[in-house]
């Protein structure tokens, strides 16, 4: 029987071949790992956040549906007011929305300098923020003005530049001197870079009883004098009007979100002010007369989210394709091709 013997040289050659084979397999596994797409946690997180955001918007839209009217703020005059008890002092007090109502631009008033002016003098070129207050109000009217100036402070728009402001006293006993003092207080509260334009674009006016009745009737502002408290009983809101003097937006309460006020001014100006980002926000948000705020339009938000997702996926595929080509070129250079 023939015996097979292996020399030391043959054994060493076989060991070298086996080692080369293992090294080749290991290099191949590395190449495959390089070709395998790396996980993208950022995209996964983005998709999860987008899904959660859209779900939250849908739920919010379902729960924010309003029925009927508030006892003070009526967005639907054809519906009865909410059956809720109010103090006797507030009977007959409220604000009825009259969207697209033409303001009486021929109305004669007096400015803070005591000069006779017409309401139409402040319209024609820019949207206008209108407020109805009285200057000696002990509480609520000051809160309305505080809410306005706080929003003006942080907005990128400035009174007198992108929009004008008209504040009218509904107390016929008040004088232009009171209006001038109130104007100085609130203009001085604005940042330095906005004071000059606000001094020219924020107007504090007074009027007689007949003129007050016309402007409050046009706006839907209902109030009365309360003998028990020796002050006017009234609700609080500000109004955005178009350059042509038509009521476009009502914002209720004493705090006004700068985003909502900015969007209302852009829409009132027929999109002649604002930026492309504002146009995107207006696509995703719409004004709800029932709440006097801008709410999310769920379907439009989902469309925008879908477009963003497609763009992200396309960018990811392009990046993976470029990476694959780079790896192929690298292996070719390594092989000396």
- Inter-residue contact 130 to 236 (CB < 8 Å): no
Q: Does the residue 260 lie in any domain? A: yes
Q: Which two tokens stand for residue 62?
A: 């379902």
Residues 64 and 76 grouped into a single domain: no
Residue 326: is its pLDDT beyond 60?
Answer: yes
Give the pLDDT score at 58. 45
Give the pLDDT score at 314. 72
Q: Does the residue 15 lie in any domain? A: no
Residues 105 and 166 grouped into a single domain: yes
Q: Does the residue 14 lie in any domain? A: no
DSSP one-letter code for 151:
H
325 or 203, greater pLDDT: 203
CATH number for the domain harbouring residue 165: 3.40.30.10
Q: Does the residue 9 lie in any domain? A: no
Give the pLDDT score at 60. 45
Contacts of 55 (CB under 8 A, 6+ apart): none
Using a 10 angstrom Cβ sphere, with 0-12 exposed, 13-18 middle and 19 or more buried, the burial of residue 239 is: buried
As a whole number, mean pLDDT of residues 46-73 equals 47
Residues 231 and 247 grouped into a single domain: yes
Residues 53 and 177 grouped into a single domain: no
As a whole number, mean pLDDT of residues 109-116 equals 96
Residue 209: is its pLDDT beyond 60?
Answer: yes
Helix (H, G, I), strand (E, B) or coil at 31: helix
Give the pLDDT score at 66. 41
Q: Does the residue 116 lie in any domain? A: yes
Q: Which two tokens stand for residue 249?
A: 């937006």
Residues 224 and 327 grouped into a single domain: no
Give the integer Cα–Cα distance in Å for 22 and 29.
Answer: 11
Residue 10: is its pLDDT beyond 70?
Answer: no
The pLDDT tens digits for 300-322 are 555 556 666 777 777 777 777 77
The pLDDT tens digits for 221-240 are 999 998 888 899 999 999 99
Residues 238 and 319 grouped into a single domain: no
Q: What percent of the chain has pLDDT over 90?
A: 50
Q: Per-residue confidence at 133, pLDDT binned at 50, 70, 90?
A: very high
Residue 132, H or E segment: strand 128-133
The pLDDT tens digits for 236-259 are 999 999 999 999 999 999 999 999
Residues 51 and 151 grouped into a single domain: no
Residues 120 and 163 grouped into a single domain: yes
Number of domains in the chain: 2
Residues 324 and 187 grouped into a single domain: no
Residues 337 and 196 grouped into a single domain: no
- Inter-residue contact 267 to 164 (CB < 8 Å): no
* Model confidence, pTM: 0.65
Residues 197 and 125 grouped into a single domain: yes
Q: Does the residue 47 lie in any domain? A: yes
Give the pLDDT score at 306. 64
The pLDDT tens digits for 62-97 are 334 444 445 455 554 444 444 455 566 677 899 999
Residues 135 and 247 grouped into a single domain: yes
335 or 107, greater pLDDT: 107
Q: Per-residue confidence at 336, pLDDT binned at 50, 70, 90?
A: low
- Inter-residue contact 305 to 47 (CB < 8 Å): no
Give the pLDDT score at 23. 55
- Domain ranges, residue 244: 72-275+286-296
């Amino acid at each position: 029987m023939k015996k097979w013997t292996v020399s030391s040289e043959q054994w060493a050659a076989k060991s070298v071949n086996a080692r080369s084979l293992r090294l080749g397999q290991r290099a191949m596994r590395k190449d495959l790992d390089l070709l395998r797409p790396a996980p993208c946690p950022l995209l996964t997180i983005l998709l999860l956040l987008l899904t959660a955001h859209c779900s939250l918007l849908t739920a919010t839209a379902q729960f924010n549906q309003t029925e009927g009217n508030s006892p003070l703020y009526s967005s639907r005059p054809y519906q009865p007011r909410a059956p809720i008890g109010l103090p006797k002092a507030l009977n007959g007090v409220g604000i009825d929305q009259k969207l697209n109502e033409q303001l009486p631009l021929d109305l004669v008033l007096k400015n803070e300098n005591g000069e006779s002016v017409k309401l139409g003098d402040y319209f024609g070129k820019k949207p206008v923020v209108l407020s109805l207050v009285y200057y000696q109000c002990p509480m609520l009217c000051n809160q309305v003005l505080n809410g306005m100036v706080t929003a003006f402070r942080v907005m990128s728009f400035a009174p007198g530049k992108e929009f004008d402001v008209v504040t009218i006293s509904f107390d016929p006993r008040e004088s232009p001197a009171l209006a001038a003092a109130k104007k100085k207080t609130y203009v001085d509260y604005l940042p330095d870079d906005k004071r000059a334009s606000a001094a020219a674009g924020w107007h504090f006016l007074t009027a007689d009883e007949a003129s007050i009745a016309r402007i409050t009737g046009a706006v839907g502002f209902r109030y009365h004098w309360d003998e028990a408290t020796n002050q006017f009983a009234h609700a609080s809101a500000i109004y955005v009007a178009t350059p042509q003097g038509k009521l476009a937006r009502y914002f209720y309460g004493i705090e006004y979100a700068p985003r909502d006020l900015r969007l209302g001014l852009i829409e009132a100006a027929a999109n002649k002010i604002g930026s492309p980002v504002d146009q995107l926000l207006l696509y995703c948000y719409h004004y709800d007369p029932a709440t006097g705020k801008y709410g999310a339009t769920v379907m439009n938000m989902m469309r925008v989210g879908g477009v963003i997702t497609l763009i992200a996926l396309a960018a990811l595929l392009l990046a993976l394709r470029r990476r694959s080509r780079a790896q192929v070129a690298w292996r070719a250079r390594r092989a000396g091709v």
